[in-house]
Amino acid sequence: MIWSLFVLSLFLFLVSPSGRGVLAEKSGEALFKENCSSCHPDGGNILNPDKTLYKKDREAHNIRTAEDIVKKMRNPGPAPTHPQKWAGMTMFDVTKISDDEALKIADYILKTFQ
């Protein structure tokens, strides 16, 4: 009986919506900080300063919606300085970031970097 209560308590902790549980969902901001902020600090771009995450630069490159951002995350393309190599942005396929997480990151970018 005590073991059952322990297992139930552990399960409830892991899935708690409070954000303290290990399995709790991460926010778009947390996912961005974990996966994107090293190359895009404060919405900038350390690899290509002309392609920041700010609205004017996104729109200049036809990136206007959350779906557009997710497409770019999934298939960033070659680096402009080395078109023959994939030396630019890291490709974030579904094994690295789920579709739900990618949309959270995209929504965070759209809301944060005006």
CATH number at residue 52: 1.10.760.10
Q: How far is the CA of 103 from the CAs of 22, 28, 30, 107, in angstroms?
A: 21, 8, 13, 6
Q: Domain of 96?
A: 26-112
What does the H/E/C string look like for 55-79? HHHHHHCCCCCHHHHHHHHHCCCCE
Do 104 and 31 meet the contact criterion of CB atoms below 8 Å apart?
Answer: yes
pLDDT at 19: 47
pTM: 0.74
Structural domain count, the chain: 1
Does residue 12 form part of some domain?
A: no
Place of tokens 């059952």: 4
Q: What is the DSSP letter of 21?
A: S
Using one digit for the tens of pLDDT, what is the confidence trace for 36-59? 999 999 999 998 899 999 999 999
b/e map 19-53, b = 16+ CB within 10 Å: eeeeeeeeebeebbeebbeeebeebbbeeeeebbb
Does residue 10 form part of some domain?
A: no
Q: Give mean pLDDT, residues 12-29.
A: 67
Backbone region of residue 77 per phi and psi (left: phi > 0; alpha: psi in -120 to 50; beta: other values): left
Does residue 60 form part of some domain?
A: yes
Does residue 69 form part of some domain?
A: yes
Instruction: Tell me the pLDDT of the chain averaged across its residues.
Output: 84
Q: How sure is the predictor about 24, in pLDDT bands with cuts at 50, 70 and 90?
A: confident
Using one digit for the tens of pLDDT, what is the confidence trace for 80-91? 655 555 567 899
